[in-house]
Amino acid sequence: MNDLRGASADAVASVLRRCIAVGVLILIALVAWWCIAGHATPGTIVLACVATSPLWLGLPRIIAGHRRTYAWMTLALAPYLALGITEAIANPARRTLAGTCLFATLLLFALFVMYLRATRSAARH
């Protein structure tokens, strides 16, 4: 983090934007894998598409750097957090996948907050 103190706010925001885009793609892959889970039927594929739709909707605007998208995406992570906690408690066979999903969700939340804090001064002007 000490290396980022001397960097410009734009450079920090750019690095965070890339990290968040990759994180969103990883979370999409995890949730889709979770939905399909070894038996890809048309129903599970539709479920995977519906379950990941909030992430897909926000991804283009995240890449473009729209600050409001980062704000509402923090709220869009709540269902994935609830899904991960529920599966970790209720389904022992999928605790590893649930833990990975929880970790990815919490990491994304932290990255979203970091981006919003890093771009806060630019938003005021």
Cα gap 104→110, rounded to integer Å? 10
Each residue's pLDDT tens digit, 72-115: 999 999 999 999 999 899 988 888 999 999 999 999 999 999 99
pTM of the model: 0.85
Percent of the chain clearing pLDDT 90 (strictly above):
61
